[in-house]
C-alpha cells in the first residue's frame, strides 16, 4: 500500500508540474509520455481516480484532464523534500543588488522589486519592527543655540530624526553632556526598555541639565513607542494580470485586498522566526478576498531576532519550489544587510 500511495503522489506531482507549466488540465497519456513513472496509462488512470475521490485533483467541466485542488497543492507543498537552491550566479546577483542599497528604504524597495522579478508574483515586505529593535546610537546635533536635532539609529538600520526646541540657549559643553547621558541610558536597549529608561532620566540628572533633558526625553519617548512596522512596500502587482484566468471573477477583489495594509499584514503575521517559511493555499487564507491566491511568507532578521515579514502573493497555480527558494534567499540577504547596518 505504501508503494501505491507513493506512486499516487508521483502522479499528483506530475499533474502539479504540468499544470503549473502549461495551465492546461493534465490527462493520463500526457503523464505517461512526459514523466518516467514506469507504469501503464491504465494504472495512472486508476491513480487519478483515487486522487480525485480523495479530493486532491478535480476535473474541469470542459476537459478530460485533471487539475490540482487546494488540497492537492497542500500535499505537494508539504512533501517538497528538497527546495531547489538558487544558482551561485543568482545568489551573487542578489547580494550585489541589495548590498548597493543606500539606506533601509532603498534596501526594502530593491528587495520587493527583486522578489517580484524572481517569482513573477506580487512581492511584499514589512518595515523592520521597531519593537524588536535595539538602539545602536543617538546623535544630538545643535541646529541653533536653542534647538537640537535628535538622530536615533537602531540595529535594524532604521533612522528616526526629531527636532527639539529647548526654549533657552544651551552650551556646546552641555550638548556633549546630554549626548553622553542619553547614549548611556539608551545604547543596546530594546526600544520598549529604552522608552522606560528615557522617561526616568530627567529625575536622575544634574539640575542644570534637567529642563533640557525633560524636553529632549519627551520627544524621544514618542520615537521609541511608535510602531512603524505597519508600513509596507509592495511591488509587482502587474504580475497578477498576466494570467487573469488564474483568478476567475476575483482578480479585482485580490487587487483591492492588496491595497489594504491590514489584510497584507495579516498575511505576514505567521512569520515568527527568521527563516521559517509559511505557505497558505487558497481556502487556507483567512480573508475571503484572498482565497483564490497562495501566499508564501517568511520572517527576516538574524539568528532569533525577527525584524519583519516578507513574502509573495500569487495564484494557487504557482511554482512552489522556485518561489520558496527565492523568498528564502532574499529574506536571508535582507536580514544580513539590515542587521549589519
Top-confidence residue, 229 or 152 = 152
For residue 1, name the pLDDT band (cuts at 50, 70, 90). very low
Can you count the helices (H) and strands (E) in the chain? 12, 10
Would you state the pLDDT for residue 230? Answer: 59
Distance of alpha carbon 17 from alpha carbon 15, whole angstroms: 6
Task: Give DSSP secondary structure letters for 99-145.
Answer: HT--SHHHHHHHHHHHHHHHHSSEEEEEPP-GGG-BEEEEEEEEEET
By percentage, how much of the chain surpasses pLDDT 90? 33
16 pLDDT more than 80: yes
Distance of alpha carbon 191 from alpha carbon 129, whole angstroms: 10
Which whole number is the average pLDDT over 22-42?
A: 90
Express each pLDDT in 94-120 by its tens digit. Answer: 888 887 777 788 888 999 999 999 999
Quickly count: other Cβ atoms within 10 Å of residue 62's Cβ.
7
81 pLDDT more than 70: no
Express each pLDDT in 177-223 by its tens digit. Answer: 889 989 988 888 887 788 888 888 887 777 778 888 888 888 888 77
Q: Which residues pair with 125 in a beta bridge?
A: 233, 310
Domains of the chain, start order: 2-77 (1.10.10.10), 86-126+230-338 (3.30.450.40), 132-226 (3.30.390.60)
Amino acid at each position: 500500500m505504501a508503494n501505491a500511495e507513493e506512486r499516487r503522489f508521483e502522479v499528483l506531482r506530475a499533474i502539479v508540474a504540468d499544470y503549473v507549466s502549461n495551465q492546461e488540465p493534465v490527462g493520463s497519456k500526457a503523464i505517461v509520455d512526459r514523466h518516467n513513472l514506469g507504469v501503464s496509462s491504465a494504472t495512472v488512470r486508476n491513480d487519478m481516480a483515487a486522487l480525485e475521490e480523495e479530493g486532491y485533483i478535480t476535473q474541469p467541466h470542459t476537459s478530460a484532464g485533471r487539475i490540482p485542488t487546494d488540497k492537492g497543492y497542500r500535499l505537494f507543498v508539504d512533501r517538497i523534500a528538497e527546495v531547489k537552491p538558487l544558482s551561485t550566479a543568482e545568489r551573487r546577483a542578489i547580494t550585489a543588488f541589495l548590498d548597493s542599497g543606500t539606506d533601509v528604504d532603498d534596501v526594502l524597495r530593491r528587495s520587493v522589486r527583486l522578489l517580484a522579478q524572481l517569482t513573477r508574483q506580487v512581492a511584499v515586505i514589512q518595515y523592520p519592527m521597531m519593537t524588536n529593535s535595539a538602539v545602536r546610537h543617538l546623535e544630538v546635533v545643535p541646529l541653533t543655540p536653542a534647538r537640537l536635532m535628535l538622530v536615533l539609529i537602531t540595529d535594524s538600520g532604521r533612522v528616526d530624526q526629531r527636532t527639539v526646541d529647548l526654549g533657552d540657549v544651551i552650551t556646546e559643553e552641555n550638548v556633549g553632556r546630554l549626548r553622553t547621558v542619553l547614549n548611556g541610558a539608551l545604547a543596546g536597549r530594546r526600544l520598549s526598555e529604552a522608552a522606560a529608561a528615557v522617561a526616568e532620566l530627567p529625575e536622575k540628572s544634574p539640575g542644570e541639565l534637567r529642563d533640557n533633558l525633560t524636553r529632549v526625553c519627551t520627544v524621544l519617548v514618542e520615537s521609541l513607542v511608535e510602531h512603524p512596522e505597519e508600513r509596507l512596500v509592495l511591488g509587482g502587482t502587474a504580475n497578477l494580470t498576466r494570467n487573469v484566468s488564474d483568478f476567475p471573477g476575483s482578480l479585482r477583489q485580490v487587487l483591492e485586498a492588496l491595497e489594504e495594509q491590514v489584510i497584507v499584514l495579516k498575511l505576514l503575521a505567521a512569520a515568527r522566526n527568521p527563516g521559517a517559511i509559511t505557505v497558505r493555499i487558497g481556502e487556507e487564507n483567512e480573508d475571503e478576498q484572498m482565497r483564490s491566491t497562495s501566499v508564501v511568507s517568511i520572517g527576516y532578521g538574524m539568528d532569533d531576532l525577527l525584524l519583519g515579514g516578507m513574502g509573495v502573493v500569487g495564484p494557487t497555480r504557482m511554482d512552489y519550489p522556485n518561489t520558496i527558494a527565492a523568498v528564502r534567499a532574499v529574506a536571508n540577504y535582507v536580514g544580513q544587510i539590515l542587521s549589519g547596518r
